[in-house]
Amino acid sequence: MPGTRLANKVAIITGATGGIGEATARRFLQEGAGVMLVGRSAEKLAATAERLADFSATATFVADVTDEEAAAAAVAATIDRFGGVDILIANAGTEGRTAPIERQTVANFEECLRTNVIGVWLWMKHCVAPMQQRGGGSMIALSSIAGVVGPREMAPYNASKHAVNGLVKTAANELATTGIRVNAIGPGPIDNRMIRSLEEQILPDDPDGIRVMVMAGIAMNRYGTNEEVANLALFLASDESSYCTGGIHMIDGGLTAA
């Protein structure tokens, strides 16, 4: 049966065509939210919307998250379609290319920082006023275990996710008295496209071998799922988390607890 945990709330989800983005959209729709799906590819957005066709409260907007004009236009379109904005899931991100620090490129560093940091800040920036008009809201940035530890050969990605955590803490402090809560989710290895990309980059000849090694370091001895991340996002988006702000909420099977 449909739930009501997000009844009458409106969410914007960037990176909606990815595994976590789509799973979060589905979970939010199941709980009564209206959802604006944002992605760079019109084709992928259409396919995602088709898979969510059982729900009527969806809309799509094609935007590169690093484009400020597009961010502002997407927020405006959300207000026009649904009447306001209550929730931001700043999910769009890139894993970049793996390499030792001395072999990293400026282009790779810049791409990671623009997408993963500026692409989060811009959408926060343009959601502040609409959320204040609704009396508050919830902003959730997708960070990573790489925001609290430093896996080798991932300097650009690690730096970007540490920056996201700092951004979240600053925004939480600035916006707390306005009723806007700001949190980060820090996934560990999640069984989706991004982790497969990293496995293939780290050990092209035996990506499954990397998976075995990674799982050996996870207390629960498995990868997480997109749906498990979506469930955490639901809690942080809902009024159930009314006293949660400025937190980095890990979902990593115990990997960073070791």
Report how far residue 15's alpha carbon sits from residue 10's, in angstroms, rounded to the nearest whole number. 16
Strand, helix or coil at 252? coil
In one letter, which amino acid is 21? G
**Pair of tokens at residue 236:** 């942080």
Q: Where are the alpha helices (DSSP H) in 9-55?
A: 19-30, 42-51
Report how far residue 39's alpha carbon sits from residue 35's, in angstroms, rounded to the nearest whole number. 13
Report how far residue 80's alpha carbon sits from residue 43's, in angstroms, rounded to the nearest whole number. 23
118-152 burial, b for 16+ CB within 10 Å, e for fewer?
bbbbbbbebbbebbeeeeebbbbbbbbbbbbeeee
φ, ψ of residue 176 in degrees (nearest 5): -55, -40
Whose tokens are 């396919």? That residue is 47
Catalytic site residues? 157
Give the pairing of strands 248-251 and 180-187: parallel
Q: Where are the alpha helices (DSSP H) in 114-251?
A: 119-133, 155-175, 193-202, 207-216, 226-237
**Pair of tokens at residue 221:** 């001895």
